[in-house]
Amino acid sequence: MSDLTFTSAYQLAQMIRDRTVSATEVVEAYLSQIAKHNSVLNAICTLNIDGARSRAKQADEALNKGELWGALHGVPITIKDFYETQGLRTTAGYKPLQDYVPSQNATVVSRLLSAGAILLGKTNPSDVNGTYQGKNDLFPRVNNPWNLDYPSGGSSGGSAVAIAAGFSALDVGSDVGSDVAGSIRQPAHCCGIYGLKPTDGRVSLAGHILEVPNRPTCIRQMLVPGPLARSIEDLRLCFSLIAGSDLRRPELPPVPLDAPDDKPIEALRLAWSDNFRVPVAADIQSILHAAINQLAERGATVENWSPSGIDWTAAQQLYYRLAACNYRYAQPTTWSAVRKTLTFIWRESTQGEAALRKLGNPAQVLKKILSPSLKDYVQALDERDTFMARLDQALAPWDAWLTPVAATPAFTHRPAWSAIDIDGVSYPHAIANGAYIMPFNLSGHPAVVIPMGQTQNGLPIGLQIVGKRWREMELLNVAQKVDDAICAFRRPAGY
């Protein structure tokens, strides 16, 4: 049974089509895995048991009649609890929404269900104000299946754990650019799975809650839905189903998916960096260097590189300013939200080594964070355009850029935004986790995270692979070649 719950989504779909297993059998296997382990991991916050069983029965009956719903016919999935699901509670980990039951599905949910997927339930997120630890005010904290003393990452922490622990074949998270950057990539890194942040504007956010329902659409940059999975093939499949323009969000450009050449690994030109912003943990650096050597041995051209002429500290400040403009009016102003923001600003500004605090001290732009103006927003957009263009130009000669995901592996549970010790040095929390992922929320470039290895105490380490904007299929092809060379995916013991 556990082998069935760790089978890739695309393989499950083929097995169901070939009648080697029924959708009902697959759903029951996942429900059993959830019942066995979720009470400890807390990855799933709302189960859809009756709905999943009913739809699995319908999927089997449809196949018996020769009907195929789509590429995910009968495949069980979960969805981050930020996405509205018709008739099924959707909370975003936010107390005012604890009893909210939407009347329609988010666009990404509709597209996956239209492809035949079966919704098992909703995965436990960080709250709408974001943390890197899978905590909110409604549900128990999410625990990492590799070690329960460690968090899952955030804000798509429950999504990553559901995939890592065999609770679901696919999940859709969201890679957020607020206090928490990299909300798909950092949990994928912490939990040893695969995650894709598409190009900003590639996938519709209709029905995604950071903006509370019935409020104006405020969030128009630095947030994008994306899949989490146990293989590159599953990322490709899920992404191809959810990407594309949407009448509910008409600002999305109707850019078709790219059709890349399938280059052999010997033809790839790969840049890599292990310290373009802050030093990383020794374990991460060592495993990254080993991965680079493996790629070179396979014939890829790999070169230590980072783009010149970019002020990363200024980029961090720009990120905070633009995030403030986007998120300030997305939710009602409450004392709880203000308190969490002030806690974040205080701890980031006072904890950790002084030199590292300077890289992202949000107190330097405190007024603009707490009370952004239209002028601030327009200026931030203009500066963002310049940053995007510089990265576009810098990345043009490369097939992809390989970087760490974070300066730290998963860290032990702790109060929100507390400093993190990395090899004897105290890092501000957001710098330790976000320094390598924030720039690509700001720039909008797509990035894949794949498993790269493990620390000496057995925690997963991910590799971030950054590509050109609007070239996700090319990026996934490159990521597949890198993944084939490294072969680092493992399932956590006991699941």
Round to whole Å and give the CA distance between 270 and 295: 9
From the candidates 110, 183, 231, 443, give the one annotated as an active-site residue: 183
Same domain, 70 and 152: yes
In a domain, 349, yes or no: yes
Q: What is the pLDDT of residue 365?
A: 75
What confidence category does residue 211 fall into, taking pLDDT thresholds of 50, 70 and 90? confident
From the candidates 22, 110, 152, 155, give the one annotated as an active-site residue: 155
Query: What average pLDDT score do residues 356-378 get?
Result: 83
14-73 confidence digits (pLDDT tens) = 999 999 999 999 999 999 999 999 999 999 999 999 999 999 999 999 999 999 999 999
Query: What average pLDDT score do residues 327-352 get?
Result: 80
Tell me how crowded residue 393 is: count the other CB atoms within 10 A of its CB. Answer: 11
Interstrand relation of 171-176 and 76-80 (parallel, antiparallel or unpaired): parallel
Query: What average pLDDT score do residues 348-355 get?
Result: 91
pLDDT at 465 over 90: yes
Same domain, 160 and 191: yes
What confidence category does residue 208 fall into, taking pLDDT thresholds of 50, 70 and 90? very high
Same domain, 49 and 195: yes
Same domain, 274 and 224: no
Q: Is 80 labeled as catalytic in the residue annotation?
A: yes
What confidence category does residue 177 fall into, taking pLDDT thresholds of 50, 70 and 90? low
Q: What is the pLDDT of residue 455?
A: 96
pLDDT at 368 over 90: no
Same domain, 211 and 277: no
Q: Is 103 labeled as catalytic in the residue annotation?
A: no
What confidence category does residue 393 fall into, taking pLDDT thresholds of 50, 70 and 90? very high
Query: What average pLDDT score do residues 471-481 get?
Result: 98
Q: What is the pLDDT of residue 129?
A: 61
292-334 confidence digits (pLDDT tens) = 999 999 999 999 999 998 999 899 889 988 988 887 777 777 7
In a domain, 57, yes or no: yes
pLDDT at 1 over 60: no
In a domain, 495, yes or no: no
**The domain spanning residue 170 has which CATH number?**
3.90.1300.10
Query: What average pLDDT score do residues 168-174 get?
Result: 97
Of all residues in the chain, the percent with pLDDT exceeding 70 is 97
Long-range contacts of 146-150 (CB under 8 A, 24+ apart): 146/191, 146/192, 146/410, 146/458, 146/459, 146/460, 146/492, 147/410, 147/457, 147/458, 147/459, 148/40, 148/41, 149/412, 149/413, 150/190, 150/410, 150/411, 150/412, 150/413, 150/459
Query: What average pLDDT score do residues 335-354 get?
Result: 84
Same domain, 238 and 273: no
In a domain, 247, yes or no: no
pTM over 0.75: yes
Same domain, 289 and 397: yes
405-457 confidence digits (pLDDT tens) = 999 999 999 998 899 999 999 999 999 999 999 999 999 999 999 999 999 99
CB proximity list for 205: less than 8 A, separation 6 or greater? 107, 174, 219, 223, 224, 225, 249
From the candidates 22, 80, 110, 174, give the one annotated as an active-site residue: 80
In a domain, 260, yes or no: no
Q: Is 122 labeled as catalytic in the residue annotation?
A: no
In a domain, 492, yes or no: no
Highest mean pLDDT among 118-132, 206-220, 452-466: 452-466
Same domain, 8 and 61: yes
Same domain, 20 and 127: yes
